[in-house]
């Protein structure tokens, strides 16, 4: 390494070669010892960056093929694989896929526009972040940027009695097969009556875990360890499940009907739900999972026993459980109405 001073500069300059490249610049120091230390640091940084990176990082759209292949073969949860596939579908409709991996910054992510709610945007951002970190791991870029997620608001909608009626009336006009309509109807009613998570619990329900005598549903696997629990059957849930299982004593309650299917059981009714929701003129924020919120709110208001509701829903943290309680507005309205009635009688 050469350390020198230019004729018209008061600072020392460094000049060295590393990784087949020449590095030359000012140390911004007039003291030779300090300049030598700066130059040594610059050389160390250049040597540490000696990993063989491609001169031109691949375009995100090209890289997506390798990433999605990894998603399919990696030991990820089924829900995680679906999440990343959905995330890429959302990303594919933006300008990001045409950019090179090493050009994508947090500023680009902050201006990313996706259709739907902030949860959709965060699905796209989390997928993009995972893609960039895999690119770093596979030495296609030097460092993946840290992406900032959008703020998500808690669900305020409930899939209540009125929403259920509107959905089922609309679903009857969608022209589906009898099997599809009955499946849709049963799932909507069961998610409201059991409070079970649709993807991880309800769709994976097995007949062996149904206790017809005690009228209970055992959930052996869930999102969290506390999700292993017993859920009571309502009369409506009991009759739906009895009709579904018939004389069968084992197997999936909702088996897949496709000859070639990725899952042996029902995977989703999201497409049908969106169609029925649109025909029913219900808000886009209303999703099947809102039935779980309705279950938590209804059971809490009827029993007043939050601990029992937490146990049935598989919650350990009170803060998490409170997200599923939406009785406040109804309580305030009832108090206001009572106050109005008292005022009218006194007048």
- pLDDT of res. 327: 53
- Look up the CATH architecture of domain 161-329: Orthogonal Bundle (1.10)
Give 78 or 5, the one with higher predicted confidence: 5
- pLDDT of res. 321: 58
Q: At what angle do helices 290-303 and 178-194 cross, to 10 degrees?
A: 40
- pLDDT of res. 203: 94
Q: Give the start-to-end residue ranges of the domains of the chain.
A: 2-48, 60-137, 161-329
CB neighbour list of residue 294: distance below 8 Å, 6 or more residues apart: 158, 159, 160, 192
Q: Kindly report the backbone phi and psi dihedral angles of residue 310, in degrees, each rounded to the nearest multiple of 5, phi listed first.
A: -60, -40
Say if residue 72's pLDDT is above 60: yes
Say if residue 142's pLDDT is above 50: yes
Q: What is the pLDDT of residues 284-296, one digit of tens each?
A: 888 998 998 888 8
By percentage, how much of the chain surpasses pLDDT 90?
44
Q: What is the pLDDT of residues 182-219, one digit of tens each?
A: 999 999 999 999 999 888 899 999 999 999 999 999 99
Give 18 or 84, the one with higher predicted confidence: 84
Say if residue 56's pLDDT is above 80: no
Q: What is the pLDDT of residues 92-127, one digit of tens each?
A: 988 899 999 999 998 888 888 776 667 788 899 999
Top mean-pLDDT range of 78-87, 207-216, 294-303, 329-338 = 207-216
Say if residue 152's pLDDT is above 80: no
The model's confidence at residue 178, banded by pLDDT at 50, 70 and 90, is very high
The model's confidence at residue 324, banded by pLDDT at 50, 70 and 90, is low
State the pTM of this model: 0.59
Task: Give 189's Cβ-side CA count (13 Å radius).
Answer: 17
- pLDDT of res. 258: 75
Alpha-carbon distance of 100 to 114, in angstroms, equals 20
Q: What is the pLDDT of residues 168-177, one digit of tens each?
A: 999 999 999 9
Give 214 or 1, the one with higher predicted confidence: 214
The model's confidence at residue 328, banded by pLDDT at 50, 70 and 90, is low
Q: What is the pLDDT of residues 271-323, one digit of tens each?
A: 999 999 999 999 988 899 899 888 888 888 788 787 887 888 887 776 665 66
Alpha-carbon distance of 69 to 22, in angstroms, equals 39
- pLDDT of res. 156: 66
Q: What is the pLDDT of residues 236-266, one digit of tens each?
A: 999 999 999 999 999 999 998 876 567 899 9
Say if residue 346's pLDDT is above 60: no
- pLDDT of res. 222: 74
- pLDDT of res. 155: 57
Give the chain's mean pLDDT: 85
The model's confidence at residue 342, banded by pLDDT at 50, 70 and 90, is very low
Q: How large is the average pLDDT for residues 29-33?
A: 90
């Amino acid at each position: 390494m050469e350390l020198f001073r230019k004729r018209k500069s008061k600072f020392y300059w460094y000049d060295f070669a590393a990784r087949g490249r020449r590095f030359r610049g000012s140390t911004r120091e007039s003291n030779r010892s300090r300049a030598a230390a700066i130059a040594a640091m610059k050389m160390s940084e250049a040597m540490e960056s000696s990993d063989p990176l491609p001169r031109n990082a691949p375009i995100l759209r090209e890289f997506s093929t390798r990433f999605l292949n990894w998603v399919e073969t990696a030991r990820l949860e089924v829900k995680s694989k679906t999440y990343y596939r959905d995330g890429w579908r959302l990303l594919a409709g933006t300008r990001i896929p045409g950019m090179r991996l090493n050009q994508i910054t947090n500023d680009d992510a902050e201006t990313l526009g996706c259709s739907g709610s902030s949860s959709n945007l965060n699905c796209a951002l989390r997928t993009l972040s995972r893609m960039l970190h895999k690119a770093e791991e596979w030495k296609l870029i030097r460092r993946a940027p840290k992406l900032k997620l959008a703020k998500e608001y808690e669900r305020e909608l409930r899939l209540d009695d009125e929403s259920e009626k509107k959905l089922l009336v609309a679903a009857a006009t969608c022209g589906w097969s009898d099997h599809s309509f009955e499946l849709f109807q049963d799932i909507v009613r069961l998610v409201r009556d059991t409070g079970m998570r649709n993807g991880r619990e309800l769709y994976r329900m097995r007949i062996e875990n149904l206790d017809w005598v005690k009228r209970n549903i055992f959930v052996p696997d869930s999102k969290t360890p506390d999700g292993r629990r017993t859920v009571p059957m309502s009369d409506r849930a009991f009759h739906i499940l009895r009709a579904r299982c018939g004389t069968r004593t084992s197997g999936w309650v909702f088996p897949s009907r496709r000859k070639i299917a990725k899952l042996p059981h029902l995977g989703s009714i999201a497409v049908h739900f969106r169609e029925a929701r649109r025909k029913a003129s219900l808000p886009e924020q209303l999703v099947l999972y809102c039935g779980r919120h309705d279950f938590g709110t209804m059971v809490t208001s009827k029993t007043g026993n939050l601990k029992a509701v937490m146990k049935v829903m598989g919650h350990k943290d009170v803060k998490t459980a409170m997200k599923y309680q939406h009785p406040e507005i109804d309580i305030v309205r009832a108090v206001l109405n009572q106050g109005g009635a008292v005022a009218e009688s006194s007048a």
